[in-house]
Amino acid sequence: MQILCSIVFAAGCALAVGNAHAVTCQNNLPPSNPDSVYGNNGDGTVSDLRSGLMWKKCAEGESGNTCSGSASTMTWTQAQLAAQTANFAGYGDWRLPNVRELQSLVEDCRINPAINDTYFPNNPSAGVWSGSPDTGASSYAWYVHFYYGYVNNDNRANANRVRLVRGGQSYGDLIFRNGFDGGG
């Protein structure tokens, strides 16, 4: 763990190692996103130590260490605008995650919500927009539903929740049609 910490995110790993809580898994299943893959940056952000992505700990509309309040709902266009104008924790380069990045948060060992509940408390068990348009249906975009963690598309005029990300290796707008990305 120490080698990984010094290579990837020394400060974030130190905080992750010191965390006394563990993701709450159901039916004694092993976590797919254990606490050790995240680092709490202490400023309302969480780093994924594997990808280098920095996530807002709370969905838009929630705040504080426990993400209190209710997650806001927005159309896809409103979510894009919210990302473009976001300034949080001293960063102004927030964006909507592409569908692969957002799906990387899904915790397979739990449902309702299907996400690591140590690092992402009070996460809505609902649809969260990605920045990936559905190229097979021009008025649709992809989202991840965090009740079970599945990916689906929705009309861009409908309202879903939003979680912002920054940094990492962006895959850009991936081409998704019928749930497949063509292997790229």
* Residue percentage of the chain with pLDDT more than 90: 78
pLDDT at position 18 is: 38
- Residue 92 burial (CB count, 10 A): 10
- Tokens 């606490």, residue located: 35
Residue 107 · residue 29 · CB < 8 Å: no
| H or E element in which residue 48 lies | strand 45-48
Strand partners, 151: 144
pLDDT at position 11 is: 37
Amino acid in the structure at residue 132: S
pLDDT tens per residue across span 84-116: 999 999 999 999 999 999 999 999 999 999 999
pLDDT band of residue 21 (cuts 50, 70, 90) is low
pTM of the model: 0.81
- Has residue 183 got a pLDDT over 90? no
